[in-house]
Amino acid sequence: SEDKKTLAYQLGESLSEMTDHYLLMTATPHKGDPKNFSLFLRLLDKDVYGDIKSLERAMEEREAPFYLRRVKEAMVTFPDTDTGIAKSLFTKRNVKTVPFPIDNEELDFYDLLTMNS
């Protein structure tokens, strides 16, 4: 229903209605819920993925060849638009831990959040 749509989904709907060409990228994996997945794909094409049955039909018939799934690990280089030479898509990641002080109340809150239950 309309009231259960997240703000992110509502934004996706608005953007998809403003253009003929729409690129949707997400780091969120499919959760196994066909209805949720159908709603997600409706942002790309309301006709093909109007409901769960149309999604199931498209998957069975292996239609929709214009949708691609790529993981970051597979997309490490891309040709430079000027030279055509492949260059790295991602900058080197530098990870470091930065210490910071917290008071007892913050520490108690942190402990509650990170408790294994």
Considering the domain boundaries, does residue 34 fall inside one?
A: yes
Considering the domain boundaries, does residue 98 fall inside one?
A: no
Q: How does residue 79 score in pLDDT terms, banded at 50, 70 and 90?
A: confident
Residue 62 structural domain: 1-91
Considering the domain boundaries, does residue 63 fall inside one?
A: yes
Considering the domain boundaries, does residue 106 fall inside one?
A: no
In the prediction, which pLDDT does 12 show? 86
- Per the structure, how many domains does the chain have? 1
- Span 60-88, average pLDDT: 73
Can you give the three-state secondary structure of 38-76, one letter per residue?
HHHHHCCCCCCCCCHHHHHHHHHCCCCCCCCCCCHHHCC
Give strand pairing partners of 78: 87
Considering the domain boundaries, does residue 105 fall inside one?
A: no
What is the pTM (predicted TM-score) of this model? 0.43
Alpha-carbon gap, residue 112 to 15, rounded angstroms: 39
Q: pLDDT digit string (tens) for 19-41? A: 888 777 776 666 777 777 778 87
